[in-house]
Amino acid sequence: MNKNNAVKLHIYNEFSLVLDNSLFLAMLIVMKNLCLLSLLLLSSCAFLDKRYVKKDISVLQGLKDELKKENQNFKSALESDIKRTIRSEIIPELREVTTHSYNLMRGQKKIKEQVYEKTLIGRVEWISTVDPLVKFRARVDTGAQTNSVHAEDIKEILKDGKNYVEFTTYGEDGVKHRFLKEIVKKSKVKSTSGDSEVRYVVQLEISFGGKTIKSNVNLNNRASLRHNFLIGRNLLLGHYIIDVSQSRLLGAPKEDDE
């Protein structure tokens, strides 16, 4: 709903409330007038003598003046209700709609347009490294900043004047694979037990959802965890949205589909 439609709808609702109250008041006035006219008609039918004509005309004139006064009061009351509603309810609401609500709706519309361009994935998806080829059933975690892969027997070595790390991991088939990757960065972190350890980050070529990408992955011992690979925000950002009620929306690895 755009700005103009939202404003029109609100004004329509406010005026409908005022008119409903006004119509009820008008109905009461009409009923009263009908009763007075009925009494006048009965009076005229009962007394046809000429001597009552002058009296009936006087009554009719008084009724006319009373109707005129009631109509004037109704008009004044209606104008007063409309002015009060506009001043105390509609104008403040219009100020809020034109500043906060409109900007919010415009922002939501822009976000929805971007969502249509992204790929929907579940809470668990298949992912694999390219060289060597290792397939993982990975857990998607938007709370993790960086991807993480299970690594054991980690050794830091110097090769051609550059720092490399050698580690072992294994995929869903249970077969162990040895990796040698250049260190992107390393940092000291404290575990929940309070022990300090060096955490390495390397760049891996990854196949995910039919696309091959390079992404940073930190090395961590995940032996006690269910999934050996964790997909973090650095891979998800700007490209994917997650439906946590679903799993493996991207399908199985190609070799398993054959």
DSSP 108-165: HHHHHHHHTTSEEEESEEEEEETTTTEEEEEEE-TT-SSEEEE-EEEEEEEETTEEEE
Identify whether the C-beta of residue 208 lies closer than 8 Å to the C-beta of residue 125.
Answer: yes
| Average pLDDT, integer, range 123-146 | 95
> Which two tokens mark 225?
């965890």
* Distance separating alpha carbons of residues 18 and 37, to the nearest angstrom: 29
Q: What is the pLDDT of residue 30?
A: 64
Taking 3-state DSSP, the helix, strand and coil percentages for the chain, each rounded to the nearest 5, stand at: 45, 30, 20
Is pLDDT above 60 for 1? no
| Average pLDDT, integer, range 87-110 | 67
Identify whether the C-beta of residue 221 lies closer than 8 Å to the C-beta of residue 150.
Answer: yes
CA dihedral for 199, 202, 207, 212, sign (positive or negative):
positive
257 pLDDT tier (thresholds 50, 70, 90): very low
| Average pLDDT, integer, range 14-18 | 56
Query: How many CB atoms within 10 Å of residue 211?
Result: 10
Q: Which residue has the higher pLDDT, 115 or 33?
A: 115
Is pLDDT above 50 for 256? no
> Which two tokens mark 26?
């008008």
Which CATH number applies to 120-257? 2.40.70.10
Q: What is the pLDDT of residue 173?
A: 92
Identify the three-state secondary structure at position 184.
strand
Identify whether the C-beta of residue 40 lies closer than 8 Å to the C-beta of residue 61.
Answer: no
Query: How many CB atoms within 10 Å of residue 243?
Result: 11
Instruction: In the chain, list all ranges with CATH 2.40.70.10.
Output: 120-257
For the chain, percent of residues with pLDDT exceeding 70: 67
- Strand partners for 196: 190
* Distance separating alpha carbons of residues 110 and 41, to the nearest angstrom: 69
| Average pLDDT, integer, range 126-132 | 94
| Average pLDDT, integer, range 79-91 | 76
pTM of the model: 0.57
With b for 16 or more beta-carbon neighbours within 10 A and e for fewer, the 217-237 pattern comes to bbbbebeeeebbbbbbeebbe
* Distance separating alpha carbons of residues 76 and 252, to the nearest angstrom: 75
Winning range, highest mean pLDDT, from 49-58, 64-73, 241-250? 241-250
